[in-house]
Chains A and B, each alone.
Chain A
Amino acid sequence: MKTIGWLIKEHWTNAYLMLRLSLYDLKTMHVSNRLGLLWFILTPAMQIGIYWAVFGLGIRGGAPVEGTPFIIWLLCGLIPWFYISGGIIQGTRSVYVKLPMVSKMKFPLSVIPTTVVLTQLYTHVALLLILVTILAFTQGVTILALTGMLFYTILLTAFLLALALITSTLATLARDVQLVVQSFTRMAFYFTPIMWTMNERTPDTLKNVMQLNPLSYFIEGYRESLLTDDLSQIATKSSLYVGACIVVLFVVGAWMHMKARTSFVDQM
Chain B
Amino acid sequence: MSYRVKFQSVSKRYKLYSKTSDKLLDLFSLRRQGTAHNALRDVSFEVEEGAVVGIVGLNGSGKSTLSNLIAGVTMPTEGQVEIVGSAALIAISSGLNNQLTGLENIELKGLMMGLSKQRIKEITPGIIEFAELGKFIHQPIKVYSSGMKARLGFAISVHIDPDILVIDEALSVGDQTFTDKCMAKVNEFKDRGKTIFFISHSLSQVSKFCNKALWIHEGSVRQYGEIDEVISSYKEFLRVYNALSDEEKKQMRAAHWG
Contacts and interface: CB of A to CB of B under 8 A. Distances in A.
A263 B75 CA distance: 9
Contact of A24 (B72, B73, B97): B97
B58 to A, nearest CB: 21
Interface stretch (A15-23, A87-95, A133-141, A149-157): A15-23
Interface of A: 16-17, 20-21, 24, 27-28, 31-32, 100-107, 169-170, 173-176, 256, 259-260, 262-263, 265-267
16 contacts: A16-B117, A20-B108, A21-B111, A24-B104, A27-B100, A28-B100, A101-B112, A104-B73, A104-B91, A105-B71, A105-B88, A106-B73, A106-B114, A169-B27, A173-B24, A175-B20
Nearest to A17: B111
Nearest to A24: B108
A218 to B, nearest CB: 28
Given A24-B97, A105-B89, A265-B68, 8 more contacts: A16-B111, A20-B111, A21-B111, A27-B100, A31-B99, A105-B95, A106-B88, A170-B24
B108 A105 contact: no
A20 B75 CA distance: 27
A102 B94 contact: yes
Interface residues of B, number: 31
Q: 5 tightest CB-CB pairs across the interface, nearest first?
A: A104-B91, A104-B94, A106-B72, A173-B23, A28-B99
Contacts of B96: 101
A192 to B, nearest CB: 27
B3 interface: no
A102 B112 contact: yes
Interface of B: 14-15, 20-21, 23-24, 27, 68, 71-75, 88-89, 91, 94-97, 99-100, 104, 107-108, 111-114, 117, 140
Contact of B73 (A28, A31, A103, A170): A103
A130 B21 CA distance: 45
Contacts of B89: 104-105
Nearest to A30: B99
B74 A174 contact: no
A184 B19 CA distance: 24
Given A173-B24, A259-B27, A17 B112 contact: yes
A62 B226 CA distance: 85
Contact of B27 (A24, A32, A173): A173
B111 A31 contact: no
Nearest to A259: B27
B73 A265 contact: yes
B107 A173 contact: no
A266 B23 CA distance: 12
A265 B71 CA distance: 13
Contacts of A175: 20
Contacts of B21: 174
B94 A105 contact: yes
